Amino acid sequence: MADVEEAVQVALLEGRRCIQCGACSSACPSARATMSFSPRRILLALLTGRRSAVGDDQWLCLLCHTCEAICPNEVRIVNIVEALRRASVRKGVEEGALDAYFEALNNMLSMGVIVPPTSSEAQSFGVAKGLSPRPLPAEIKAELEEVFGKLKEVKGAG
């Protein structure tokens, strides 16, 4: 309960500056890729006392800070998402949440992309147009392998 309260308190502090312009949601890569995710909606749900309306959306955030870069009032949405995630992990609500990160890192290391083509047509189109994934630079691959190793440890311990 205290963890959820932390997320709400962070949202209240940050939310005072939010003018609900929607710039964060229009710039967000996750919001463009999924119809359910919206940084603005997460903030609004917390500000109006509807924590349950956030659901699993906190896990769709890439923590890329694009929303913060575009926000005219510098609302730090990532702080809110991180507080929500901490609350969920401490409560044990999101046991499978690490699976998505595990899969994304595995895809990045093995194929060079986070989300592989969804059909053979898309894959052949990409290859025909010279859009096949490029190998990762060695230093980035080493860094990802380190993160992947830590994720395996955490997943194994959970």
Average pLDDT of the chain to the nearest whole number: 78
Exposed, middle or buried by CB within 10 Å (0-12, 13-18, 19+), for 80? Answer: buried
Looking at the fold, whether 64 and 128 belong to one and the same domain comes out as: no
Looking at the fold, whether 103 and 86 belong to one and the same domain comes out as: no
- In whole angstroms, give the CA distance from residue 96 to residue 92: 10
Structure-token pair, residue 144: 């990802």
Looking at the fold, whether 78 and 30 belong to one and the same domain comes out as: yes
CA distances from 125 to 4, 107, 120, 133, 142 (A): 46, 19, 8, 12, 30
pLDDT digits (tens, 9 = 90+) for 3-39: 557 767 777 787 788 888 999 999 998 988 887 889 9
Domain boundary among 66, 91, 116: 91
Range of the domain at 18: 2-91
pLDDT band at 44 (very low <50, low <70, confident <90, very high): confident
Residues 155/89, Cβ–Cβ less than 8 Å = no
Looking at the fold, whether 8 and 85 belong to one and the same domain comes out as: yes
Looking at the fold, whether 85 and 101 belong to one and the same domain comes out as: no
pLDDT at 143 (0 to 100): 84
Looking at the fold, whether 81 and 144 belong to one and the same domain comes out as: no
Looking at the fold, whether 78 and 142 belong to one and the same domain comes out as: no
Looking at the fold, whether 106 and 29 belong to one and the same domain comes out as: no
pTM of structure: 0.58
Looking at the fold, whether 132 and 79 belong to one and the same domain comes out as: no
State the average pLDDT over residues 107-123.
68
Looking at the fold, whether 68 and 131 belong to one and the same domain comes out as: no
pLDDT at 99 (0 to 100): 73
- In whole angstroms, give the CA distance from residue 47 to residue 14: 10
Looking at the fold, whether 15 and 58 belong to one and the same domain comes out as: yes
Domain boundary among 91, 115, 134: 91
What's the number of domains the chain is made of? 2
Looking at the fold, whether 65 and 143 belong to one and the same domain comes out as: no
pLDDT at 23 (0 to 100): 94
Biggest alpha carbon distance in the chain? 54
Domain boundary among 50, 66, 91: 91
Quick check: 126 pLDDT over 80? Answer: no
